[in-house]
Chains A and B, each alone.
Chain A
Amino acid sequence: MSDAMIIVLTAGLTATALALLGPFLVLRRVALMGDAVSHAVLPGIVAAFLVFQTRAPLVVILGAAAFALICVLAIEALRGTGLVASDAAIGLVFPALFALGVLGIHRYAANIHLDLDSTIYGEIAFAPFRTLDLGGVEVVRSVLIMGVVAAVNLGLITLLWKELKVTSFDPDFARSIRFSPTVVARLLLIAVAVTAVTAFESVGAILVVALLIVPAAAAYLMTDRLVAMVAIAVAIGWVSSVVGYAGAVEVDASIAGAMGLTAAVIFGIALLASPRHGLIARAVRRARTRRAVERALAEERGAQGAGA
């Protein structure tokens, strides 16, 4: 298989893993969870490096995952008090964790290059070069990892489908039929944390943040059905991967950036042209209503004129 295929496949599987979760985050108003996690993992990396003195991917991922979990659970706890809105909760937690990481580096590692870019953030362009020897067969690591994560996420949302659906739309009703919205929310957030960290390692931060939000938001503009929303988000993720890669090759630019940009363009198209919620459809509907009202008024005036 060619390098291009591997890159597109890595991106597509990453997009699948993320787009399976993204719609629930968008519905729950915590779309920026991915961005929060991308900053909050810093203290985990510092801690892992201090304990094990290495930047080996597995150690780094474990350290990062620990703090990703702390981050999402702390946000959920703050939000759960009902005293802080979810967006403000995100904005309180991740700067604090990042600041902790910066202090850690200042105290223990000021004289080596230890930062997110040189430890956890991967680069999708290098996916074809990173292979793993599994019993004599050479496999592409990022494809394997992201494939497993995507499959696990698919299994998770399949198992929890009803619960996720109910708790995303109506937490009070969920409570009344004895689903615990907190437990479901926590499971979802744990999946987000683990997925984000493994995806950072494979494709870098910006692509993860973008693919978690943008396809889901675009899908939200296109449908009212949850199943359709998830499916459309995954599809947009794949289209962004393929088109973005082609675009990146065309202008010789960053692959992750081009993929994120493609997703943004698709969002723009959805915003304008979505059949139900798009700006054009709305404008047409509004114009039609206005014409109908005018016609009705004219007819009424005509009737009155005839009557007089």
Chain B
Amino acid sequence: MGPLIDLLPLSYTESVVVVGAAVLGVAAGVLGALAVLPRRSLVGDALAHSALPGVAIAFLVTGARDPASLLVGAAIAGLIGAFMMVGIERTSRIRPDAAIGVVLSSFFSLGIVLLTYIGTTGNAQQAGLETYLFGQAAGLLERDVNVMAVIAALSIACVVLALRVIKTTLFDRSFAASVGVPVRVVELATTALLVAAIVIGLRAVGAILMVAMLIVPTVTARQLTHRLGPLLALAGVIGASVGATGALLSSRAEIPTGPVIVLVGTAVAVAAVLLAPGRGVVWRWAHRRRERRSALSSGVLIDLETALHAGPPPTVDELVLASARPRGDVRRGLRALDRAGLIERDDDRLRLSESGAAAAHAALDERRLWSAWLEHGWRLDLGDAREPDPRDLRRTLGDELTDRLLGFDAEAAPS
């Protein structure tokens, strides 16, 4: 990563942090998907807590606060913790979130007991054992960035080579086992890679940022695609962009890097949840509103057509009486029809324009078709029971079925 760091038009520290955050984003993004999709999102949080007994035991064994052995201790504890989570989940009815919670609280309790035990032994080296392991994003070292880059490359390679296998193990274990995929081995390998990334990430940037970086990219990507391959690629890209953007913003504003990246990431994920096309909350809301409006205006249109059929052009008040809708709804519907050029006003009397008359007939036809579907739809005997789209029966049923349906309706009509 050295050349890339030198290339950026930033101070050395800023470049290291920006590149580091981006690389971390790639690794956490890609590997995070393997945790988030099987509902083990909080594995990062659990491993951050389970590092404590690992560090304490490493200290008890070696008697010294040597960074390398503490890191190994944390990694081993993390591996044991992760396998226990998966084990509890696989062998019992406990679901992933509770399994993670049980491991988190057990390991952390053990860590505190060990720490207070060490405290009474009076070894001065114990100072800051628990904080020793957690870094912060602004303190990223070039060496850590390189290690993260290796992890990122490994995880991308692993995912590219074994996408199929990972997919079947993630979504259909029994099927995977039945077609001869070594499910256990795949799960073991991905879990180990995940643990390695998390433990190294904890030392490089701390717990909170690590937790967020594992989750944000996948949640965001999930709103944009539902296919695993594109999702993984997208998660990597999103992770990198969130990391780099957050790091740049924080150094411009001279505020702590880690929290800024977390907040940028959360904002991105929430924005995706709100705005994702076809899926997002705002999109769905706007869609529903559009639908409600169009239903209302076509209803008012039919009411007007019926009134015109029955007598002279009505005033708005007469139409309200005839249609039995709230006045506000009628007015809103009329406004929409006015805008679409479907009605004409003759003083305060309402008439249909030429296109309005056509639209009214179309709407009436559609309504008739709908009630025919409700009443006689079962007689069509749709083989695979695929429900047609209620808003556009003719297209989804096809002309032939539609004609049969209208035929049933005509037969049943008393006239």
Contacts and interface: CB of A to CB of B under 8 A. Distances in A.
A91 B98 contact: no
Nearest to B95: A29
Contacts of A88: 36, 39, 41, 215, 218-219
Interface string B251-278: 0000110111011001001100100100
Contact of B39 (A87, A93, A214, A256): A87
A264 B273 CA distance: 37
B77 interface: no
A85 B41 contact: yes
Nearest to A34: B101
Contact of A257 (B40, B99, B112): B112
B209 A95 contact: yes
Nearest to A29: B97
Nearest to A213: B101
Given A214-B102, A253-B113, A39 B94 contact: no
A127 interface: no
A86 B42 CA distance: 11
Given A209-B101, A221-B92, A260-B108, A253 B273 contact: no
Interface stretch (A101-109, A171-179, A186-194): A101-109
A39 B99 CA distance: 20
B208 A99 contact: yes
Contacts of B115: 254, 257
A96 B120 CA distance: 37
Most chain B C-beta atoms within 10 Å of own C-beta, residue among A90, A92, A213, A261: A92
A84 interface: yes
Contact of A256 (B109, B215, B266): B109
B273 A84 contact: yes
Interface in A239-294: 248, 251-254, 256-261, 263-264, 267, 271, 277, 279, 282
Given A271-B88, A279-B92, A96 B262 contact: yes
A277 B116 CA distance: 35
B266 A213 contact: no
Interface in B218-267: 218-219, 222-223, 255-256, 258-260, 262-263, 266
A140 interface: no
Nearest to A102: B259
B212 interface: yes
A31 interface: yes
Most chain B C-beta atoms within 10 Å of own C-beta, residue among A83, A87, A261: A87
A32 B113 contact: no
A83 B273 contact: yes
Contacts of A259: 109
B104 A96 contact: no
A78 B219 CA distance: 11
Contact of B108 (A31, A96, A206, A253): A206
Contacts of B218: 88
A32 B85 CA distance: 14
A217 interface: yes
Contacts of A252: 116-117, 120
Contacts of B99: 217
A264 B105 contact: yes
Contacts of A210: 105-106, 108-109
B93 interface: yes
A32 B100 contact: yes
Given A88-B219, A92-B269, A257-B112, A214 B105 contact: yes
Q: Contact residue range for chain A?
A: 35 or more
Q: Contact residue range for chain B?
A: 35 or more
B152 to A, nearest CB: 21
Nearest to B37: A85
Contacts of B104: 32, 35, 209
Contacts of B101: 31-32, 35, 209, 213-214, 217
B124 to A, nearest CB: 19
B281 interface: yes
A154 interface: no
B116 A257 contact: yes
Contact of A253 (B93, B117, B280): B117
A304 interface: no
A21 interface: no
B16 to A, nearest CB: 20
Nearest to B215: A91
Given A29-B95, A213-B101, A91 B106 contact: no
A217 B281 CA distance: 33
B319 interface: no
A217 B208 contact: no
Contact of B258 (A93, A99, A253): A99
B42 A87 contact: yes
Given A83-B273, A92-B212, A257-B109, A102 B256 contact: yes
A81 B262 contact: no
A271 B263 CA distance: 39
A26 B212 CA distance: 22
Nearest to A251: B117
A262 B289 CA distance: 55
A78 B223 CA distance: 13
B256 A103 contact: yes
A220 interface: yes
A261 B106 contact: yes
A88 B36 CA distance: 7
Nearest to A282: B91
Contacts of A106: 255-256, 259
Given A35-B45, A277-B92, A85 B39 contact: yes
Contacts of B211: 91, 94-95
Interface in A188-231: 206, 209-210, 213-214, 216-217, 220-221
B275 to A, nearest CB: 11
B214 interface: yes
Contacts of B106: 210, 214, 260-261, 263-264, 267
5 contacts: A35-B42, A88-B36, A91-B212, A99-B208, A253-B117
Interface of A: 26, 29-32, 35, 39, 78, 81, 83-88, 90-96, 98-100, 102-103, 106-107, 206, 209-210, 213-214, 216-217, 220-221, 248, 251-254, 256-261, 263-264, 267, 271, 277, 279, 282
Nearest 9 Cβ contacts at the A-B interface: A260-B109, A264-B106, A257-B112, A99-B259, A210-B105, A213-B101, A257-B113, A99-B262, A96-B266
Given A30-B97, A88-B219, 11 more contacts: A29-B95, A29-B97, A31-B98, A32-B45, A83-B276, A95-B209, A103-B263, A209-B101, A214-B106, A260-B112, A271-B88
